Amino acid sequence: MIRRLEVDGVPTLLAPTTGPMHAGLAFRVGLADEPLTRRGITHLVEHLALYSFGVADYHYNGATGVEHTYFHMRGAEADIVKFLNGVCAGLRDLPMQRLEVEKEILRTEENGRGEAATDGLALWRYGARDYGMPAYPEWGLTGLTPADLQAWVAHWFTRENAALWIAGPDVPAGLRLALPSGARRPAPRPSSALPVRPAFFHGPANVVAWNAVVPRRPAASIFTGVLERALFRSLRQESGLSYTVQTDYDPRGDGTAVLTALADALPEKQDAVLGGFVDVLAEARAGRIDPAEVTAVVNQRCEDLTRADEVGARLPGLAFGLLAGRAPQSVDEVLAELRAVTPAEVAEVGRLAVEDGLLMTPGRTTADWAGYAAAPDSSPEAVPGTSYASLDRPERRLIAGEHGVSAVDPETVVTVRFDRCAAVLTWPDGARRFVGEDGIQVHVEPTLIGHGHAVVAALDSRVRPELRVAMPPRDPSRIPVPRPPAMPVPAAAPASRGALIAGLIGLAVVILLCGGLGLLMSLDAMVDSEDRGYGIGIAVVSLGLAAAAGYGVYRLTKRLRRS
């Protein structure tokens, strides 16, 4: 039985469990709340708040997600009190002497983490805003100051923007959540970089991925399970094309949920995997949902939910729901909703999901043949302004204008307008990368355009200073320089008339000697039958040399006439 109460003004969920006691403190702030210029700030706050614990005898952790940041601990009551009280103390007084060290730790962590297979879906669906942030590196770390972090904590890490869960018999004695006062912060409104859906874009050669946004409801969770079973059966069991097939259901604070699916592929099998994947989605769009599959998924979900409730695994999700304004449901209420889901409701979710779908095709494969529009990877037009040809590749041009910057080549145009710019990455050597809110980027290398540093200075003056993100210095070997122009191949000196005439005389002698010898040996072979083969061989070689000399005479005669 879940009890709802408050601890120091923080809404709290308490539930007895069969396992060890554990607790967590969640805040309604995550990657989706960070502007690109501050990407990484929430993660940095999380690290600094946990610094004082070092190597502890109990298990604790912190995590920064898309919408939430939370601190979790499993252990004895006294340890939980020490941990949660310490987290609040750390947030009130972040150890700023650790700032630069923790930045380096986060950079190292990011370098080892690599890119997730589904990161591209976030970037192409949302661009460089809100829910697209998981696709971007933590570029904002370099320029963050103690004042930036203190302002971020004061805005987001407050008691009104927090929720606590405790899996145990009661609130541990001595627990004090000494957090500053603030306000509840709703989840951001999702942006969109997709003018048309369903859409596709090119991704890595070894995976097919897809996502969709649908209203949050039990039928959507069931559809995700039905889709996974259909993909697994088609791509692994029946065709043996994929090894990993999985789906995910991720509810959000705005009342929607993100459905994600992926399947791996060998590069030589990517067309077949894509085709099988699209076929399964087409079945869902047509409403072909097997009632037996729905029943199987419902039963599995109910079993998983019962086990999760016994050990308190539902509590984090319920705490996140509190932050979104959702009242916690008992396990019996959720079970009843799941068992009431019908195949028709699941089919309706499938239709909505496929119509909203974004498909990541493997390598250079496409999905226009299946009714998916190509997601835009360029801009409709260039900005008016001054055009600068590339010193490296003359067919490319940079256009610098009052309202934006464009890069143009014979095939594409990419434009970032200053009033829709998410960030400008700035390197000490003068390089700039303009990132538009739609995810389009324009990179400027001053060494590759005429008067490059003056152009960069003019562009800098037209961008709001708060959009600038300082990047670390580049190795000099990574700064591009124009390719030197190709050296012309010197023409051969024309031969003199005397040399040409001497050549003609020499070739004429060869024609007379070889031609004559060839004729004599031909006559001899006709008369002398014993050495006929020997005579014919000499005749063929001699006449061939005479013919080659004749061709030489022809070429020299033409050159002699031109001279």
Q: Which of 441, 371, 438, 425 is nearest to 197 (CA)?
A: 371
Decide: 128 and 423 in contact? Cβ < 8 Å. Answer: yes
d(C-alpha 76, C-alpha 491), whole Å: 88
Query: Coil, helix or strand for 358?
Result: strand
Structure tokens at 181: 């006062």
Maximum C-alpha span of the chain: 127
d(C-alpha 40, C-alpha 133), whole Å: 10
d(C-alpha 108, C-alpha 212), whole Å: 32
C-alpha distance from residue 135 to each of 66, 68, 175, 361 (Å): 11, 17, 37, 17
d(C-alpha 17, C-alpha 74), whole Å: 13
C-alpha distance from residue 498 to each of 120, 505, 550 (Å): 72, 11, 19
pTM as predicted: 0.83
Tally the C-alpha atoms within 13 A of residue 502's C-alpha that lie toward its C-beta. 5
Across the beta sheet with 386-389, the strand order is 386-389, 397-400, 404-408, 413-417
| Cα four-point dihedral sign 141, 144, 149, 151 | negative
Burial of 496 (0-12, 13-18, 19+ CB in 10 A): exposed
Q: In this structure, which amino acid lies at residue 468?
A: R
Task: Region of 529 please: left (phi>0), alpha (psi -120 to 50) or beta.
Answer: alpha
Q: Which of 501, 481, 437 is nearest to 128 (CA)?
A: 437
Report whether the peptide linkage leading into residue 198 is cis, meaning its omega lies within 30 degrees of zero. Answer: yes
Instruction: Kindly report, residue by residue over 72-84, the tens digit of the pLDDT.
Output: 999 999 999 999 9
Give, in words, the CATH class of 386-475: mainly beta
pLDDT of residue 558: 67
pLDDT of residue 525: 66
- 109 - beta bridge partners? none
pLDDT of residue 516: 72
Decide: 493 and 499 in contact? Cβ < 8 Å. Answer: no
- Residue 129 CB contacts under 8 Å (≥ 6 apart), including other chains: 36, 191, 422, 437
CA-CA-CA-CA dihedral for 154, 160, 162, 166, to nearest 10: 140
C-alpha distance from residue 319 to each of 13, 24, 182, 327, 478 (Å): 7, 9, 18, 9, 48
Interhelix angle 291-311/331-339, rounded to 10 degrees, is 170
Per-residue pLDDT of the chain (563 residues; tens, 9 = 90+): 899 999 999 999 999 888 789 999 999 999 999 999 999 999 999 999 999 887 665 688 999 999 999 999 999 999 999 999 999 999 999 999 999 999 999 999 988 877 788 889 999 999 999 999 999 999 999 999 999 999 999 999 999 999 999 999 999 999 999 999 999 999 999 999 999 999 999 999 999 999 999 999 999 999 999 999 999 999 999 999 999 999 999 999 999 999 999 999 999 999 999 999 999 999 999 999 999 999 999 999 999 999 999 989 999 999 999 999 999 999 999 999 999 999 999 999 999 999 999 999 999 999 999 999 999 999 999 999 999 999 988 899 999 999 999 999 999 999 999 999 999 999 999 999 999 999 999 999 999 999 999 999 999 999 999 999 999 899 999 999 887 655 555 554 455 667 767 776 776 777 777 777 767 777 666 666 566 666 676 766 777 777 777 777 677 676 666 55
CATH superfamily entry for domain 199-374: Metalloenzyme, LuxS/M16 peptidase-like (3.30.830.10)
CA-CA-CA-CA dihedral for 544, 546, 552, 558, to nearest 10: -120
Q: What is the DSSP string of 430-486?
A: S-EEEEETTS-EEEE-GGGBTTHHHHHHHHHHTS-GGGEEE-PPPPGGGS--PPPPP
d(C-alpha 361, C-alpha 373), whole Å: 12
Can you list the alpha helix ranges (DSSP code H) found in 340-446? 343-355
Give, in words, the CATH class of 3-167: alpha beta
Q: Which of 110, 137, 141 is nearest to 41 (CA)?
A: 141
pLDDT of residue 492: 47
CA-CA-CA-CA dihedral for 549, 551, 556, 562, to nearest 10: 170
